Structure formats: C-alpha cells, structure tokens
Structure 1
Amino acid sequence: MEGNIEMVKAEVADNTANPAPLGFTGLGLSAVLLSLTYVGLFPLDSMVVSMAIFLGGFAQVFAGIMAWKKGDVFAGTAFNAFGLFWFSLAGLIILQSLGWAAAAEPMSMAAYLFIWGVYTFVMLIGTLKMCSGSRVIQFVFLTLFILFILLAIINATGMTGLLVIAGIDGLLLGFGSLYAALAMVLNEICEKPVAPGI
C-alpha cells in the first residue's frame, strides 16, 4: 500500500537588519581619521591604527558576513574585502614597528595601493549598474578609487605635495560613507525617505 506524501513548502522570512550602515560607518570613521593625518592635523599613531583594526576592519567584515548571509554578493564581497584591506594596512604598520618585517618600499606600497585602486574601479562599475538610485554609494566608490590612485602615485613618484589633495579626497570619501550609513538608519527608523541619495 502506497501512502501519499504531501510536500510542504515553507518560506522563512529574513528579519535580520540591513548590515550596510555598519559597514559604511566602519569605512567612514576610519577614512576620516586616516585622512586627517594626510592633511597634517596629527601624525599617524595608535589611534588611527586602532580605528583601522576595530572599525575599518571588524565593522566591515561583520557587515560583509551579514550581507553574505542575506544573499547580497556585492555588499558581502565589498565589505569583507575592504574590511580585510584595513587589517592589512594596520598589519603593514604593526609588523614594521615590532621589527617583524622591513618597512614596505615606496614601490611595493605603490603596487599595493594601485591594485586596490583597480579592484575599487571594478566595484565602482558594479555600483553604476546596481545602485541606479544611490548616488551616495557611487560617490563613495568613486572617491575611494581616486584616493587609492593618488596614494599610489605619491608612493611611486615621491610627490608628497599631492598628500593634502589625497587627504581632502579621503575626507570626502569618509563623510560620504558616514552620510550613507546615517541616511540608511534614519530612512529605516522614519519608515520613509528623509535623507536623499540612498
């Protein structure tokens, strides 16, 4: 005697929060503080390195993992990759200060920054395709791309006069990223678009 097997399809609702504000907060705060060293407000010290690790690194990696679990391949890839960038940047500083590795040569730093610029440019192209309504996210990736290229040029050529320009661009990147984070939070809290561009 054959029994009838009834298939039941269950749908699971995703009630987890949008991780993007956390990721943009990590990027924004870290970029602003690092960029202030480029414009000469204060030197690169343990405050900047700590922010790079705990906000730039951990916040973006946490956001990337959460985005990945939500099925968002772009945000998952971007936040994880750039979070790991901050860890690697902190590693470059810490390894040298502990005497565990030689300081990076200017050309190797130029190559490091240039390849991150290329990666960012490809991700920028992705924002033009997928973020048609989010000019702020496009602005963040554009200024990040420009920053990497400027820093690569500075390291390759020794044109330190460009450092202030890189710092200004980094500040634009950081504040744009913070705007994106806070706009997403406010729009969700108010349940309507109160902050434009997102």
Structure 2
Amino acid sequence: MSENVGTSTTIVDKTANAAPLGFTGLGLAAVLLSLSYIGVYPAGSMVVSMAIFLGGFAQVFAGIMCWKKGDVFAGTAFSAFGLFWFSLAGLLVMPAMGWAEASSGIAMAAYLSIWGVYTFVMLIITMKIGVRALQFVFFTLFVLFMLLAVVNATGSTGLLVVAGYVGLIMGLGSLYTALAMVMNDVHGKTVVPL
C-alpha cells in the first residue's frame, strides 16, 4: 500500500482579464445607441442587435468570467449591465412583436431611474477601487440614466440630444478603458493611464 504524503498540486490561473470585453460591449453599444439619440439615425435593428450581442452577451460573458476569477465588483457590474441591455432590447422588441404593450413614459422613467440609483451606488464603490477611468465611466453612466429618466418623464427632445452626447462620452470612455487595459496587458506595463 502506497501513501501519497507531502505532495500538492498548484493550479495556476491562466485565464485573461475579462474586463476589457465587458467595457468593449458597453462602449460599442452605448456609442451606437447614443448616436440615435443625437439624431444621426433612428434606433432600428442595428441598435437592437448591438444591444443584444455586444451590450448584452459580451458583458454577461465578461461578468461570469470575472466572477470566476473572484472579482465580485466586475462580476456583478458586467452581469447586471449586460442583463440591462437584454431588458432594453426586450422593451423595444416585445411591443413591436405584439407580445406586450409599450411602456409608458413614466414607466420608462422609473426603469431608468432605478438603473441610475444602482449605477450611483456602483460609482460610490469605484471610489474605493481608485481607478479614474472606471470612476469616469460610472459617473457618466449615472448622469446618462438620470437624463434619460427625465426625458422619458417629460418628453423633452432637446434633453434627449444632451443625453445622447453624454452617452457618447460615456461610451467612448468605456472603449478607452477597454483598449487601455488591453494595451497595458500586451506591453506588461502601464502604457495608457487608467
């Protein structure tokens, strides 16, 4: 009878940081949706598709991968905001398919307000994390949700354009964060500040 005494196995985590994928999904979906708010084109199938496949799937995948690595903040944030994009696509598609009545302006204002409150709390958490790019994304995302809530409650088209520009800035900030993370990882040092 043999005994396996004193041996141990070390498992090295070789999985990549999934946060750049999550920020890419958020950034690309937000930029394209925001351009529709500004009036560049209507919010059609391209925006809905981007919301589902990049805003939704990419962020949920990133959230699950971050969760697996033990990053509770990124796992929660990416999963929740990925599911936000799925729910937003549902709010657009379900009425068009006759599956549900379109939400009223007040209902949409409540929907966006609760996401704004959630984002504000996540913004407070980023203060402890201390990454400026992350704080910028969450701050501008909070402002965007609040502006869109007011737009839906009041019907203000002028404020929708302002929200579009805030969303564009947030989306570009998110893309900056994603690409900076990739650049820094590839170079093995800080090349682009976060």
Tell me which interval the TM-score lies in, with the shorter structure as reference length. Answer: over 0.9
Displaced runs of 4 or more, over 2 A:
3-11
Q: For residue 7 of structure 1, report the CA deviation from its aligned partner.
A: 5.6
Q: For residue 5 of structure 1, report the CA deviation from its aligned partner.
A: 7.6
Q: Which residue of 2 aligns with 1:140?
A: 137
Q: For residue 160 of structure 1, report the CA deviation from its aligned partner.
A: 2.2
Matches within 5 A, 1:41-190: 41-130=40-129, 132=130, 134-190=131-187
Q: Which residue of 1 aligns with 2:17?
A: 18
Structure 2: tracts of 5 or more residues without a match: none
1:194 is aligned to 2:188: no
1:38 is aligned to 2:73: no
SS at match of 1:123: helix
The separation in 2 between residues aligned to 1:140 and 1:7, in whole angstroms, is 49
Instruction: After superposition, give the CA deviation of every residue in 1:108-152 in whole Å (9 maximum; x if it has no partner).
Output: 00000000000000000110111x1x2111000000000000000
The separation in 1 between residues aligned to 2:53 and 2:43, in whole angstroms, is 16
The separation in 1 between residues aligned to 2:102 and 2:120, in whole angstroms, is 27
The worse-fitting range, judged by mean Cα deviation, of 151-160 and 19-28 is 151-160
The separation in 2 between residues aligned to 1:87 and 1:96, in whole angstroms, is 14
SS at match of 2:29: helix
Structure 1: tracts of 5 or more residues without a match: none
The worse-fitting range, judged by mean Cα deviation, of 150-159 and 23-32 is 150-159
Q: For residue 6 of structure 1, report the CA deviation from its aligned partner.
A: 3.7
The separation in 2 between residues aligned to 1:187 and 1:165, in whole angstroms, is 33
